[in-house]
């Protein structure tokens, strides 16, 4: 296959099919898995049919992995039908817990460069549970075969490592040594039991420091541990710090000295903290620290409204923060949007969600006019979930007119969570299609009954690049029969030709997503080659 376009352009096109093992924005994991499978098939097809794009396609295929067993395929040979040889050079012995391999000496030397070329392509490793013996006993063998030596770096270009610790003893952490390279930039640590695995996390951070790694830019830790704060303070290169809490809040866990230990991290650009476990003096220390971070551009806070208000809305102006996300565990105050307009003059992306079981004062109800304090901001995202917000079908047009750069709209008022509040889908989606020239994601409680009654020919011309529509179940009114669902998807594609995902959020039991299956079927049909032989190839 001959390429008439610059290879660099094709390389950038292939990056569109990058396989992500983490899908934070995907409410539906089935949709995320289907997208990964499709991207993998696309990259494999490109690698097999276009020699000039083989390297960039392989780089994308190997960029993010969850195991290094793929590397053993380098040594496999075609199956010999006469001898019955399987062609597999590597075999894992389950009973003994070790690998055996049959590789000739000359083959080791000949294939070592090829093995290194694949290992160099790996930028991210994600282990949904701590690597078992099947995984880490293989690494030593691959180190030797690649010629890197026992003290070398198995994946010299590794930048991101995700680990889920399940009762992992600190000594087990040293099995990760072959993976710790000087290039590692991001570390994400989750666990099942923090008490058991806190020491293991500290050992891992010390191991990274012991390897002389100075490039760590991002640290995510799922838990509440003052010791982790202390360890994080040693990485002055950190740009992103994300401390999440999944356990019951303990307001006396973090004291002011714990927060003050982080003051040496002066170059953070992204910070995510759960302040539910902060004592009052720790919240005050956090307020002073946040006010001193001149490079901070993204801020995410979880906690009670009173504590968040004191932490970021008391006499501080954040001139550089463009992305703010708040998760509230208590009812919001009436002055929320007024305070936002004062404290965040550079705001572009706003996300505020109240915990699902939180109910605001019945006398409080925000209006769309309350948002107009942000009118001068070049807003690209407005996401308001479970807040006492009055929303009508005409408000979407006002939002898109006021902020024409909007790419993400999520409006799910608390009355949509508590009751069956919905918006008229025909009016709302027609306005979004006409005015949302930058819109990519939309989450609203919708009633599709009116859209089903509207002829497709009556729908307005499409101008929106919307790619993802998220439906809140059970509020969303969806037709029941398969034929009606197919007709609905046709109308959605008429309004939004680039629509690729219809995801579902459900607070109760799992809801089947027939609409996504139908949408996938339409896309597969449209992307299939013509059946007539004379039309199989382009001139």
| Residue 250 pLDDT exceeds 70 | no
Q: Evaluate whether residue 39 is within a structural domain.
A: yes
| Segment among 287-291, 317-321, 506-510 with least mean pLDDT | 506-510
Query: 5 vs 12, 52, 527, CA distance in Å?
Result: 12, 11, 21
SS3 118: helix
Q: Report the pLDDT value the prediction gives residue 478, as an integer from 0 to 100.
A: 82
* Residue 330 confidence (pLDDT): 93
**β-bridge mates for residue 164, sequence order:** 190
What does the pLDDT read at residue 173?
92
CA 130 and chain centroid, separation: 20
Largest CA distance in the chain: 83
What is the mean pLDDT of the segment spanning 370-377? 94
pLDDT at 41: 79
Which strand (E) or helix (H) includes residue 289? helix 280-292
Does residue 376 contact residue 341 with C-beta atoms inside 8 Å?
no
Per-residue pLDDT at 537 exceeds 70 = no
CA distance 359 to 352: 15
Rounded mean pLDDT, 143-158: 82
DSSP 534: G
How far apart CA 138 and CA 161 sit, in angstroms, is 18
Q: Is residue 24 part of a domain?
A: yes
Residue 414 forms part of a structural domain: no
Higher pLDDT, 524 or 321: 321
Q: Please state, in angstroms and rounded to a whole number, the distance separating the CA atoms of residues 151 and 140.
A: 10
| pLDDT for the residue numbered 409 | 97
Is residue 89 classed as helix, strand or coil in its secondary structure? coil
Written as one string, the DSSP assignment of 309-348 is HHHHSSS---SS--EEEEEESSPPPTTHHHHHHHH-TT--
Range of the domain at 50: 9-62
Tokens of 393: 């079908």
Q: How far apart are CA 259 and CA 284, in angstroms?
A: 9
Residue 445 exposed, middle or buried by CB count within 10 Å (0-12, 13-18, 19+): buried
Question: So what's the pLDDT on residue 79?
Answer: 45
Q: Is the pLDDT of residue 373 over 90?
A: yes
Identify which has the larger pLDDT, 395 or 76: 395
* Residue 509: pLDDT over 60: no
450-464 burial code (b ≥16 CB/10 A, e <16): bbbeeeeeebeebeb
Kindly report, residue by residue over 157-176, the tens digit of the pLDDT. Answer: 999 999 988 878 889 999 99
What phi and psi values does residue 473 have, to the nearest 5 degrees?
-100, 140
Residue 16 placed within a domain: yes
Nearest to 285 by CA among 226, 202, 354: 226
Mean pLDDT of the chain: 85
In a domain, 106, yes or no: no
8 A C-beta contact, residue 307 and residue 326: no
Over residues 340-357, mean pLDDT: 95
Nearest to residue 389, comparing CAs of 405, 372, 408, 365?
365
Q: The whole model's pTM is what? A: 0.85
Is the pLDDT confidence value at 360 over 80? no
Band of pLDDT at residue 532, cut at 50, 70 and 90: very low
3-state SS, one letter per residue, for 435-463: HCCCCCEEEECEECHHHHCCCHHHCCCCC
Percent of the chain at pLDDT > 70 equals 87
Question: What does the alpha-carbon distance between residue 198 and residue 296 come to, in Å, rounded to a whole number?
Answer: 28
The Cα-based distances of 355 to 27, 125, 159, 305, 332 in angstroms read: 17, 32, 34, 11, 11
Chain centre to alpha carbon of residue 306: 29
Residue 377 lies in a domain: no
**Mapping DSSP to helix (H, G, I), strand (E, B) and coil, where does residue 390 land?**
coil
Q: Six-digit token pair at 143?
A: 């180190």
Comparing 539 with 74, the larger pLDDT belongs to: 74
For the chain, the first-to-last Cα distance in angstroms comes to 13
115 assigned to some structural domain:
no
Query: What pLDDT score does 135 carry?
Result: 92
Render pLDDT for 265-288 as a digit per residue (tens, 0 to 9): 989 999 999 999 899 999 999 999
% of the chain with per-residue pLDDT over 90: 47
User: Could you say which DSSP state residue 506 is in?
Assistant: E
- Per DSSP, the chain holds a count of helices (H) and strands (E) of 17, 19
Would you say residue 397 lies in a domain? no
Q: What is the pLDDT of residue 3?
A: 54
Res. 536 pLDDT band, cuts 50 70 90: very low
Contact in structure between 379 and 356 (CB atoms under 8 Å): no
Q: What is the pLDDT of residue 486?
A: 93
> How high is the pLDDT of residue 247?
58
Looking at per-residue confidence, does 154 or 215 come out higher? 154
- Total domains in the chain come to 1
Residue 217 has pLDDT above 80, yes or no: yes
Q: Give pLDDT tens digits for 285-311.
A: 999 999 999 999 999 999 999 999 999
């Amino acid at each position: 296959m001959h390429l008439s376009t610059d290879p660099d352009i094709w390389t950038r096109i292939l990056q569109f099919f990058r396989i992500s093992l983490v899908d934070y924005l995907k409410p539906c994991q089935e949709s995320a898995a289907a997208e990964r499978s499709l991207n993998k098939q696309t990259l494999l097809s490109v690698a097999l049919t276009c020699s000039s794009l083989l390297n960039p396609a392989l780089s994308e295929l190997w960029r993010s992995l969850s195991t290094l067993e793929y590397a053993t395929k380098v040594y496999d040979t075609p199956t010999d039908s006469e001898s019955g040889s399987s062609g597999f050079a590597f075999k894992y012995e389950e009973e003994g817990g070790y690998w055996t391999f049959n590789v000739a000496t000359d083959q080791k030397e000949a294939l070592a460069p090829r093995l290194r070329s694949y290992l160099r392509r790996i930028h991210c490793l994600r282990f949904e549970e701590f690597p078992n013996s099947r995984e880490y006993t293989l690494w030593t063998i691959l180190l030797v075969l690649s010629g890197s030596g026992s003290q070398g770096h198995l994946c010299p270009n590794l930048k991101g490592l995700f680990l889920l610790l399940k009762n992992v003893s600190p000594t087990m952490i040293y099995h990760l040594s072959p993976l710790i390279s000087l290039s590692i930039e991001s570390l994400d640590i989750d666990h099942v039991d923090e008490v058991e695995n806190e020491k293991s996390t500290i050992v891992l951070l010390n191991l990274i420091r012991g390897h002389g790694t100075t490039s760590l830019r991002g640290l995510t830790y799922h838990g509440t541990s003052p010791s982790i704060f202390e360890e994080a303070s040693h990485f002055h290169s950190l740009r992103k710090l994300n401390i999440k809490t999944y356990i019951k809040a303990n307001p006396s866990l973090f004291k002011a000295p714990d927060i003050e230990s982080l003051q040496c991290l002066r170059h953070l650009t992204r910070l995510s903290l759960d302040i539910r476990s902060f004592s009052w003096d720790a919240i005050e220390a956090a307020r002073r620290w946040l006010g001193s971070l001149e490079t901070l551009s993204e801020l995410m806070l979880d906690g009670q409204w009173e504590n968040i208000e004191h932490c970021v809305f008391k006499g501080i102006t954040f001139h550089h923060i463009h992305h703010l996300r708040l998760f509230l565990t208590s009812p919001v105050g009436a002055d929320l949007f007024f305070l936002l307009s004062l404290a965040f003059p550079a705001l572009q992306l706003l996300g505020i969600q109240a915990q699902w079981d939180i109910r605001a004062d019945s006398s409080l109800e925000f209006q769309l006019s309350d948002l107009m304090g942000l009118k001068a901001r070049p807003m690209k995202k407005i996401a308001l979930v479970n807040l006492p917000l009055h929303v009508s079908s005409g408000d979407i047009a006002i939002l898109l007119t006021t902020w024409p750069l909007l790419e993400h709209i999520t409006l799910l008022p608390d009355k949509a969570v508590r009751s069956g509040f919905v918006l008229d889908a025909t009016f709302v989606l027609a306005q979004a299609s006409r005015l949302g020239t930058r819109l990519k994601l939309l989450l609203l409680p919708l009633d599709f009954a009116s859209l089903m009654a509207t002829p497709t020919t009556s729908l307005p011309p499409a101008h929106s690049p919307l790619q993802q529509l998220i439906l809140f179940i059970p509020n969303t009114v969806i037709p029941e029969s398969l034929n009606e669902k197919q007709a609905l998807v046709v109308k959605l594609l008429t309004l939004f030709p680039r629509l690729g995902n219809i995801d579902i959020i459900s607070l109760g039991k799992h809801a089947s997503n027939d609409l996504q299956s139908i949408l996938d079927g339409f896309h597969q049909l449209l992307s299939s080659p013509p059946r007539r032989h004379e039309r199989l190839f382009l001139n």
